[in-house]
């Protein structure tokens, strides 16, 4: 294991607990889940029993009251054996639990958090639409207030944890009016999955993350009480942007797990694979590529846990936002490169689905897209440096 950034003894002990769970419970089945596009609800429950969904939640809701760094450690270790289970945890906490924890009322927290924290249910967050995502002004989903009810109509896409049999809630951004300057007022509305008119369409046939739950959603006259507004009216998009800062670091942790897996598999294969009377690891062309993987995982891990430490220390928002963007950009782009290197090390076998590097290769690309594309990260970093870039 490469060195980590300022992790305590407790964090490292926790890492071993999650690694043991991942290797015994998830790793033996990851390839089959991937082939079958199977979302293992029972394993999500076991992750809940281990306390993974409640790492950052207060004890009053069944959580551990722990720090953000611990969540990143858990995501990294799950992602090392299965990126699908890593993103299930990342989205379940970062996009499902955290918005409620941060912006919810006492009643909303008491209603939703216990089951979410225990892994008995999952929640998602619906921002992206066919023509809207980063461009919040293009949001077409609408929530009209009729009496004491919100009536929601519209559609969302690429929504994680939104259509499984334990999905209980999706918080969606929607137009709830027009501001004085003519811009749309965007608010966050909590929609229970059983709401009439709420439809999780057929799961996507994705390039990777086959064992994660991802659906397009449609809403037709979905009626929910007024108290299903999450946070302040008109602040839905701003709330989600703040949520994304944490999510970027968590995605970076998922990418670190991917790079570590590439290094682990490539190193083992280079020692075992024999050609021309010796292991391929004796050849500089192979050895140097594996050395590059070691550099990538060390750098990505340090950037990721440095940002996580800033979050836990309560660093100023602009400082943390910059660190989060840097970590996300470097770690995810390195993960894509790492899977290409690992596939090359395996040669023709790397192109075969029976080898884990093929799954890693497919899984990695989305890391550069989800929770803010690489282009968005570069934009944020440039602005953080004081450049007036548009």
Q: Among candidates 382, 315, 367, 383, which has minimal Cα distance to 91?
A: 367
Q: What is the rounded distance in angstroms from the CA atom of residue 271 to the CA atom of residue 280?
A: 7
CB 198 within 8 Å of CB 222 = yes
Q: At what angle do helices 41-49 and 83-91 cross, to 10 degrees?
A: 60
**Active site members:** 371
Q: Can you give the length of the chain in residues?
A: 390
- The torsion angle over the Cα atoms of residues 125, 155, 231 and 314, rounded to 10 degrees, is 30
Structure tokens at 294: 């070691």
Q: 268-305 as b/e, with b when 16 or more CB fall inside 10 Å? A: ebbeebeeeeebbbeeeebbebbeebeebbbbbbbbbb
Q: What is the rounded distance in angstroms from the CA atom of residue 102 to the CA atom of residue 125?
A: 14
Write the CB contacts of 218 (distance below 8 Å, at least 6 apart in sequence): 154, 155, 199, 201
Cα separation of the two ends of the chain: 41
CB 83 within 8 Å of CB 370 = no
Q: Which helix (H) or strand (E) holds 215?
A: strand 214-225
Strand 122-126 and strand 167-178: the pairing is: parallel
Radius of gyration of the chain (CA): 21
Q: Which helix (H) or strand (E) holds 275?
A: strand 274-275
What are residue 223's phi and psi, to 5 degrees?
-105, 125
Structure tokens at 115: 């089951």
- The torsion angle over the Cα atoms of residues 303, 305, 306 and 310, rounded to 10 degrees, is 140
């Amino acid at each position: 294991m490469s060195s980590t950034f300022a992790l305590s003894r407790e964090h490292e002990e926790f890492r071993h607990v999650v690694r043991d769970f991942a290797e015994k419970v998830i790793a033996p089945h990851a390839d089959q889940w991937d082939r079958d596009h199977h979302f293992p609800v029972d394993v999500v429950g076991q992750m809940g029993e281990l306390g993974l969904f409640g790492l950052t939640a207060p004890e009053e809701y069944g959580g551990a009251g722990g720090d953000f760094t611990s969540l990143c450690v858990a995501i990294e270790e799950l992602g090392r054996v299965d990126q699908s289970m890593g993103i299930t945890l990342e989205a379940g906490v970062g996009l499902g639990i955290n918005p409620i924890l941060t912006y919810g009322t006492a009643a909303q927290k008491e209603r939703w958090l216990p089951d979410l924290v225990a892994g008995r249910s999952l929640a998602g967050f619906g921002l992206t639409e066919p023509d809207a995502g980063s461009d919040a002004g293009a949001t077409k989903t609408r929530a009209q207030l009729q009496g004491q009810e919100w009536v929601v109509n519209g559609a969302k896409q690429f929504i994680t944890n939104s259509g499984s049999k334990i999905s209980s809630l999706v918080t969606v951004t929607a137009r709830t009016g027009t501001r004085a300057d003519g811009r749309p007022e965007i608010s966050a509305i909590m929609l229970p999955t059983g709401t009439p008119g709420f439809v999780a369409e057929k799961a996507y046939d994705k390039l990777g993350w086959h064992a994660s739950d991802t659906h397009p959603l449609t809403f037709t006259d979905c009626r929910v009480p007024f108290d299903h507004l999450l946070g302040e009216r008109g602040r839905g998009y701003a709330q989600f942007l703040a949520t994304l800062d944490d999510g970027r670091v968590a995605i970076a942790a998922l990418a670190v797990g991917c790079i570590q897996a590439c290094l682990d598999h490539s190193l083992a294969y280079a020692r075992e694979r024999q050609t021309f009377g010796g292991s391929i690891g004796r050849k500089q062309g192979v050895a140097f590529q594996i050395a590059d993987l070691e550099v990538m995982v060390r750098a990505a891990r340090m950037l990721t846990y440095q940002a996580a430490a800033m979050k836990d220390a309560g660093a100023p928002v602009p400082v943390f936002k910059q660190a989060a963007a840097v970590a996300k950009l470097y770690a995810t782009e390195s993960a894509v490169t790492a899977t290409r290197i690992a596939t090359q090390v395996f040669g023709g076998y790397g192109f075969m689905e029976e080898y884990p590097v093929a799954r890693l290769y497919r899984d990695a690309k989305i890391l550069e897209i989800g929770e803010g594309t690489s282009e968005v990260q570069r934009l944020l970093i440039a602005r953080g440096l004081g450049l007036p870039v548009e």
